[in-house]
Amino acid sequence: DVELTDLQLRPEALAGLDLPIEVKAGYVGHLKIDIPWTELFTADIHVAIEDVFVLAGPITDRQYDAAKEKLLQNAIKRQLLESIEQSAIEEFVSKAADSPTLLEKLSTNLLSRLQISIRHIHVRYEDTVTNGDHAFACGIMLKQLLICSTDARWQPRGTDVIPNMMHKMLKLDELSAYWNPYVPEQHLLKSRLNTDGWKNVLRISIDSHTIFEEELDFIMQPAAAQARLIINSDTGFTLPKFFMDFTIEEVEVMLSRQQFLNLITLSDSFQLMRINQRYRKYHPNISLKVSPRSWWMYAYDAILEEIIRPFSWARIKEHRTRFRKYRNMYKTYLDDPENKSILDKLKEMEDSLDVTNILIAREQAKLELTREAPERARKKVKKSSGWFSSWFQGEEEEEVTVEVDTNKPKDWLYNLTVEEKKKLYAGIGYDENANFVSYPKKYVASKIQIILKRCCVSMVNYSKKILQVSVTHFLSTFEHRPGNNAFVCFPSRISCNTESFAIEGASIEHELIPILTSDIGVYAPSVNQVFTLDFESKPLYTDADYSLSLNVQPVEIVYDEHSISEVAAFFQLPHGGFDIRTTAVETLTSVAKVSRAGLQNAIQSHTTIHMALNMRSPYIVIPEFGTLHRGGNVLIIDLGTLRIESELQPKDVSLEINRVDSYDQRMFAVNNLYQSEQMK
């Protein structure tokens, strides 16, 4: 058993977010892991975490500390290096391809016995730098998360247990997010870090929704969810191996204009903090009015030390010496990866190099090692697969990387003895001599179903709703069929549908009026879904790489001048601030840059998409005086119906043949037209 209490988090604990923030105070009240070593494959494994409280803030609200800054930068650097070297998904996929049944048995056995309890989590961010005249705070709270084993009737550890069928239940209570755009200085927790009072305040606020009698301004109201998981260990192909039903009762999101402006300002502030991070060591830490000369020296030192002197011969020589030492040490590490002293020296050298130089040095070390010992090198070729990459990148590219065989064991399974492997295989029910399982093409091995019963997103200005978007009974389904050679990490089929969708705007009297409604009972009495989407890779019903089916029922759109002006005013930004329109235009421009080579390659590679679209256009109602409340004439526009269905060409037809066929068809039509005119 492992039981720890009163754990303190380090300032770089949030380095994985890649934001210029740090942990001002972090606390884990209770952590317990109960592993029954005597009954490792039969008894439950309990994990309990309670009272996780984190208070974060920007790194610029304190004076420069070289030690803290070094720890923070090294933590970010190491996480980035680990993610570049090999992602967890790639490692899992490669191991699953080598022994899929072993991983399936092992994960099923572990999941069936794992019991998790997480209670009272509150992560709060306080900022006094972004807005100089006032502070703001935001945070995420979670009251409880439970994962437990149940019987077939979803009762905890009941007697109604089905053989070869494991049931798990997940319960999530009161997950919420808040953003208080104006926080008085006396209500900031960072001034109370010298005592344990800040922890009690965060703990109590999870239930009271207040901090120092100030109510939390929720962006997302406390939400509850429940998931039911069924894992089938039967060898047949009638039921999925993995089925999860995730139900969310209600999600209510409410964003005020003050919160929106705060969010935009914070995003702009983070960008400035990242730029200023390399110059903080030269900051004078006094006001500009007090000592203008210090600020001139600040600018002088920043340019001199960061832009001019790094390119002096002495600095270049020093950097190249460090680079070569690291490259040689990494080559030594490839020969002896278990040597702890070499690992410590590598980490020490990495502190004085950036990520780019570290990666270049590692690749050079691998290449040098392959020249000295060619038998230890192997090439790994990665091809960009999928129609997304070919569409936007043009011709298909091959990425060739060199991997070096080291003396390091491949994984933990390699270190086990023969007897230990036998005990492991017997405990999880794995037979290494069993034949490889061949799945039928139609068999759905895993299925995840997400049901959102109600979702409401509102925009608020001056404590009044100006726009409200409501969705009811939204259903998403993700299926994976291993027998149709679909992508391992991508679902074979994705389907979505919803029963109703409505948008309401604010009238002159500040009452919500319908702007967009989807009353399928009126416009389509025989249909109960206003929107359905079905995307499938390697579809069974047609000979194509992908299929896309979209069905949209008609909606009614009513133009209201006041509602539109209120929404436009909501997104209006102050002059001199962050221009969201420029960012939006840049994003759309980058998405719209599809080259002609990319289009031709998509056709030549015969990546086929079967499309079946049936979109009934909306009814647009335009009042004469800008609103229906003023009377007058009404203009009604019906745009009809749009239907698109693709007819796939044979795969042996090239682009040139298609071009000739299209030309012949046009010429045949022109000749027929000319002959008919001659006959007249």
Q: What percent of the chain has pLDDT over 70?
A: 77
* pLDDT computed for residue 525 by the predictor: 53
> Is beta strand 641-645 parallel, antiparallel or unpaired with respect to 609-616?
antiparallel
DSSP 143: E
Instruction: Judge whether 138 and 56 are in contact, CB under 8 Å.
Output: no
Cα–Cα dist 420/432, whole Å: 14
Distance of CA 47 to CAs 1, 155, 272, Å? 10, 20, 41
Q: Is the dihedral of CA 277, 283, 286, 288 positive or negative?
A: negative
CA terminus-to-terminus distance, the chain: 98
Bridge partners of 613? 550, 644
Per-residue confidence (pLDDT) for residue 388, from 0 to 100: 41
Q: Evaluate whether 469 touches 502 at the Cβ level (below 8 Å).
A: yes
Category of 194 on φ-ψ map: left (φ > 0), alpha (ψ -120 to 50) or beta:
alpha
Model pLDDT, residue 393: 44
Amino acid at 157: R
Q: Which of 260, 221, 254 is nearest to 457 (CA)?
A: 254
Q: How far apart are CA 11 and CA 57, in angstroms?
A: 10
Task: Please identify every stretch of the chain with a pLDDT value under 50, giving residue numbers as ranges.
Answer: 87-89, 92-93, 96-97, 381, 383-400, 594
pLDDT at 407: 56
Per DSSP, the residues of 415-460 read: GS-HHHHHHHHHHHT--TTSPPP---TT---EEEEEEEEEEEEEEE
Average pLDDT, whole number, for the chain? 81
Identify any residues that bridge with 167 across adjacent strands, giving them in sequence order.
Answer: 150, 230
Contact 20, 60 (CB under 8 A): yes
- Residue type at 585? V
What pLDDT, in 10s, does the model give residues 282-339? 999 888 889 999 999 999 999 999 999 999 999 999 999 999 999 999 999 888 888 8
Structure tokens at 509: 């009297």
**Residues 6 or more apart from 26 whose CB is under 8 A from it?**
8, 9, 10, 13, 53, 54, 55
Cα–Cα distance, 283 to 294 (Å, whole number): 9
Cα gap 79→74, rounded to integer Å: 9
Please compute Rg for the chain using Cα positions.
31
Task: Count Cβ neighbours within 10 Å for each residue of 97-129 and write b for 16 or more, e otherwise.
Answer: eeeeebebbbebbebebebeebbbbbbbbbbbb
Residue 58: HSE in the Cβ half-sphere, 13 Å Cα cutoff: 21
Residues 512/468, Cβ–Cβ less than 8 Å: yes
State how beta strands 464-480 and 493-506 pair: antiparallel
- Give the pLDDT confidence score for residue 663 in this predicted structure: 55
What backbone torsions phi and psi does residue 469 show, to the nearest 5 degrees? -110, 125
Tokens of 462: 């001056």
Give residue 577's pLDDT. Answer: 52
Inter-residue contact 434 to 230 (CB < 8 Å): no
The answer to whether 492 and 481 have CB atoms below 8 angstroms apart is: yes
Query: Which H or E element spans position 171?
Result: strand 165-183
**Side chain identity at residue 417, one-letter code:** T
Full-model pTM: 0.83
